[in-house]
Amino acid sequence: MRASRFVILALCILLLPIRSFAVAQDDRMDQDDAVILSEAVGVGGVEESSSIDMQEYLFGHIADAYDWHITTVNGHHVSIPLPVILIDGGLHVFSSEKLAHGAVYDGYRVATEGEPSAGKIVRASDGTRPLDISITKNVCGLLIDSVLLVVLILLCARWYRRHDVLKEAPTGIAGLFEPLIVMIEQDVIKDAVGPEYQKFSPYLLTAFFFILINNLMGIVPFFPGGANITGNIAVTMAMAVFTFLAVNLFGNKHYWKEILWPDVPLFLKAIPIMPVIEIIGMFTKPFSLMIRLFANMLAGHIMLLSTIAVIFLTVKLGPAINGSLSVISVLFGIFLDVLELLVAFIQAYVFTMLSSVFIGLAHPQHETH
Amino acid sequence: MSLITPDFGLLFWMVLIFGAVFFLFAKFGFPVITKAVRQRSEHIEQSLRAAEEARLSLERFAEDQNRLIEQTKVERAEILKAASDERNALLAKAQEDASAEAAKILRNAREEIAAEQELARRELRSELSALSVAVAEKIVRKELDNADGQKQLLDKYVEEAVQSQVN
């Protein structure tokens, strides 16, 4: 029973990157299509400027930004300006509105396409980057999602503080979260980490819910959702680093012995082949965590955006093709949205499970042979 | 390519935000919940164990009761059997006594009757003999009036005597 569950999960983990590659290819095809379409349309003599720019469209949605773009009404951008915070020989704080449309403010501007740090704030004089800790779209999304999560979980914890758990069944928010928490703690953390699981379960549960809420909010297409947070490599990198620290700071001496002086023939560790491989393994494990979450969530966003883009790309092909493709696109979009709900959960689950397994591997029980 | 190069600002905020969330949850969130859940599951386990124990003791009690009932039944049967045996014995003895008494009474009665009969017979005999003597006296007196008669009488006596001898 348990073994079969792990096999299924392992299959999911193996298959998801394949899916994301396929999506990446689809994405490329969509872009090519867009180019071909716009060229065809251009040859046909229709105005080029009204054609959708796939590059800008996709990156505008999945990349980080200094303001939170909500919609465009009649060519006018409706967006929430966010604070820019720069440390460059002193603190510079101003609204991102000041830098709109390539404006220079306080000696800074947003680098244009073609520059090494395109889309980032640079010094207007030489195009180099100051230390930039602006509240970007992703930081703002992270803050909103985190506040939401903190409120939810602390309300849930408050229920347990206020009620006698031996006399009452959990209701409301506690009833919503308890099955999830129990499932993650008992079936994932306890099984994978081993007897010392209670020390690690706060971190692993926090990681699970943190990823889950950011994944789910990423699917919501409008403010305060829609920021591609877990599909950003900086976010997944931070998560992976936390897991790396949890694994290596608390690993016991058997773990370090297995890395530095493993149970293999002497010639494999005298010329340190095995220790080197093991040390590389220490870093590849969190690296795979980082890439897996990043690639899957990014792929999900690109897939959804590409599906929706079909509606706008086919406008020039006439009402019949555009109408029928729009119906298909909407139906496929619904399917993808539901799939993304599943992926949002699976990726949070997989990250937690693999982190638990890595922590468990760092606590080998000394077996007596 | 900005997609795969982590941005320092976002990394900084991410570490800060996740750290704060983790701190809040580790301090006020998950331990409270998991502790309560664990406490409840322990309580349920204990309750199940107690229920099992109660069931077992109830079973033992029922067994004891059954055994007691069986034992009582056996005892009752024994008592009943003993009582009926005793009754039978008493009856038999009473019958025996009664028949013995009856036989004794009967025997006594018989003996008395026999004695009375004997006595009556004896009296009768003595009276009869006295009467016969008296009668014989009279007859003899009359018979002896003639010689012939005397001879006849003698014969007759002899014959009678012989007959009685034979008899």
Q: What is the pLDDT of residues B118-155, one digit of tens each?
A: 998 888 888 888 888 888 888 777 767 777 777 787 88
Cis peptide before A319 (omega within 30 of 0): no
Tens digit of pLDDT for each residue in A167-201? 888 888 888 999 999 999 999 999 999 888 999 99
Q: Is the CB of residue A219 less than 8 Å from the CB of residue A343?
A: no
Whether A29 is in a domain gets the answer no
pLDDT at position A39, please?
42
Q: Looking at the structure, do residues A323 and A198 belong to the same domain, yes or no?
A: yes
Whether A36 is in a domain gets the answer no
Contact A133 B12 (CB under 8 A): yes
Is residue A18 very low, low, confident or very high in pLDDT (cuts 50, 70, 90)? Answer: very low
Q: Which chain B residues contact residue A185 at CB under 8 A?
A: 34, 37
Residue with more model confidence, A44 or A66: A66
Query: Which whole number is the average pLDDT over A332-339?
Result: 94
User: pTM for the whole thing?
Assistant: 0.73
pLDDT at position A8, please?
54
- Which residues form the domain of A157? 137-361
Tens digit of pLDDT for each residue in B3-39? 788 888 899 999 999 999 999 999 999 999 999 988 8
Q: Looking at the structure, do residues A126 and A266 belong to the same domain, yes or no?
A: no
Whether A87 is in a domain gets the answer yes
Contact B11 A242 (CB under 8 A): no
- Which residues lie closer than 8 Å to A118 by C-beta, 6 or more apart? A111, A112, B2
Q: Looking at the structure, do residues A198 and A92 belong to the same domain, yes or no?
A: no
Contact A166 B43 (CB under 8 A): yes
pLDDT, mean over chain A = 83
Q: Which of A119, A131, A238 sits opposite B2 (nearest CB)?
A: A119
Calpha distance A269→A254 (Å, rounded)? 16
Q: Residue B78 CB: number of other CB atoms within 10 A?
A: 10
Q: What proportion of chain B, given as a percentage, has pLDDT over 70?
A: 97
Query: Which whole number is the average pLDDT over A102-128?
Result: 83
Measured between CA atoms, how close is B35 to chain A, in angstroms? 9
Q: Looking at the structure, do residues A287 and A301 belong to the same domain, yes or no?
A: yes
Contact B33 A156 (CB under 8 A): yes
Q: Looking at the structure, do residues A99 and A166 belong to the same domain, yes or no?
A: no
pLDDT at position B11, please?
92
pLDDT at position A366, please?
60
Residue A26 confidence (pLDDT) above 70 = no
The Cα-based distances of A82 to A94, A122, B15, B76 in angstroms read 9, 17, 20, 98
Judging by DSSP bridges, how do beta strands A83-87 and A131-132 pair with one another? antiparallel
- Which residues lie closer than 8 Å to A194 by C-beta, 6 or more apart? A360, A363, A365
Contact B14 A242 (CB under 8 A): no
Contact B32 A153 (CB under 8 A): no
Residue A363 confidence (pLDDT) above 90 = no
| Local structure of A119: helix, strand or coil | coil
Residue with more model confidence, A2 or A215: A215
Tally of domains in chain A = 2
Tens digit of pLDDT for each residue in A27-53? 444 444 444 444 444 333 334 445 677
Tens digit of pLDDT for each residue in A274-314? 888 889 999 999 999 999 999 999 999 999 999 999 898 88
Q: Looking at the structure, do residues A205 and A274 belong to the same domain, yes or no?
A: yes
Q: Looking at the structure, do residues A243 and A282 belong to the same domain, yes or no?
A: yes
Q: What proportion of chain A, given as a percentage, has pLDDT over 70?
A: 85
Query: Which whole number is the average pLDDT over A252-277?
Result: 84
DSSP notation for A142-183: HHHHHHHHHHHHHHHHHHHHHS-TTT----HHHHHHHHHHHI
Q: Which of A117, A146, A160 sits opposite B33 (nearest CB)?
A: A160
Residue A112 is given by DSSP the state: P
Q: Taking CB atoms and an 8 Å cut-off, how many pairs form between chains A and B? A: 127
Whether A22 is in a domain gets the answer no
Measured between CA atoms, how close is B48 to chain A, in angstroms? 14
Q: Which chain A residues contact residue B16 at CB under 8 A?
A: none
Measured between CA atoms, how close is A130 to chain B, in angstroms? 11
Whether A52 is in a domain gets the answer no
Q: Looking at the structure, do residues A130 and A144 belong to the same domain, yes or no?
A: no
Q: From chain B, which residues contact A within 8 Å (Cβ)?
A: 2-15, 17-18, 20-22, 24-26, 28-34, 36-37, 39-40, 43
Contact B21 A210 (CB under 8 A): yes
Q: Is the CB of residue A51 less than 8 Å from the CB of residue A41?
A: yes
Q: Looking at the structure, do residues A303 and A174 belong to the same domain, yes or no?
A: yes
pLDDT at position A10, please?
53
Q: Looking at the structure, do residues A258 and A185 belong to the same domain, yes or no?
A: yes
pLDDT at position A234, please?
92
Query: Which whole number is the average pLDDT over A146-159?
Result: 93
Q: Which residue of A has its CA nearest to B41?
A: A166
Q: Which chain A residues contact residue B43 at CB under 8 A?
A: 166
Residue A350 confidence (pLDDT) above 90 = yes
Tell the residue number behind the tokens 């209701």, with chain if given: A171
Contact B10 A235 (CB under 8 A): yes
Instruction: Report the sign of the C-alpha dihedral through residues B149, B151, B152, B154, in that order.
Output: positive
Q: What is the CA radius of gyration of chain A?
A: 24
Is residue B165 very low, low, confident or very high in pLDDT (cuts 50, 70, 90)? Answer: confident
Tell the residue number behind the tokens 């002899």, with chain if given: B158
Whether A317 is in a domain gets the answer yes
Which of A115, A134, A153 represents a domain boundary (last residue)?
Answer: A134
Query: Which whole number is the average pLDDT over A124-153?
Result: 90
Query: Which whole number is the average pLDDT over B92-120?
Result: 91
Whose CA is closest to A68, among A54, A58, A82, A56? A82
- In this predicted structure, which of A8-17, A135-144, A200-209, A311-320 has the lowest mean pLDDT? A8-17
Token code pair at residue A69: 């773009």
CB-based burial label for A118 (10 Å; 0-12, 13-18, 19+): middle
| Local structure of A93: helix, strand or coil | strand
Q: Looking at the structure, do residues A118 and A247 belong to the same domain, yes or no?
A: no
Residue A368 confidence (pLDDT) above 60 = no
pLDDT at position A77, please?
82
- Reported ipTM: 0.81
pLDDT at position A243, please?
95
Whether A126 is in a domain gets the answer yes
Whether A8 is in a domain gets the answer no
Q: Which chain A residues contact residue B15 at CB under 8 A?
A: 238, 241
Token code pair at residue B28: 């006020």
Q: Looking at the structure, do residues A271 and A287 belong to the same domain, yes or no?
A: yes
Contact B2 A120 (CB under 8 A): yes
Residue A369 confidence (pLDDT) above 80 = no
Instruction: Report the sign of the C-alpha dihedral through residues B129, B135, B141, B142, in that order.
Output: negative
